[in-house]
Amino acid sequence: MIYVIATFRIRPAALESFVEAAYALIDVARRQPGCLYYDLHASVTDPDRVMCFEQWQDRPAFDRHLATPDVASFSAAIEGLVLSSKIEIIHPDSIDTL
């Protein structure tokens, strides 16, 4: 099992558009094989930071998710909304950063 934490710094006033795009992806991802948990959370201390918390059966399931057209559509939809992003993949014995 792996955990994924995707952190996004959003442009001011772009939160609503970002959330709309994120939930379109989350709805699809939750039904993908190997997805155990996928949700979006806003920072309570920084209004321009949101995080996706994900739990996947294994890295291949997450990699299949990343290769879907839905992830490509999400990436295109948020391109002008995001100032920066960081994805951490937490394995039982290591942490990868994308």
Q: What does the pLDDT read at residue 95?
A: 75
Q: Scanning the structure block, which residue is given the tokens 């039904």?
A: 31
Domains of the chain and CATH, by start: 2-46+67-97 (3.30.70.100)
Three-state secondary structure call for residue 24: helix
Tokens of 40: 């979006």
pTM: 0.90
Q: What does the pLDDT read at residue 64?
A: 98
Whether residue 10 contacts residue 82, with contact meaning beta carbons closer than 8 Å, is answered with: yes
Concatenated DSSP letters for 48-85? TEEEEEEEESSHHHHHHHHTSHHHHHHHHHHTTTEEEE
* Amino acid sitting at position 18: F
pLDDT (tens place) for every residue of the chain, 98 residues total: 999 999 999 999 999 999 999 999 999 999 999 999 999 999 999 989 999 999 999 999 999 999 999 999 999 999 999 999 999 999 988 778 87
Q: What does the pLDDT read at residue 39?
A: 97
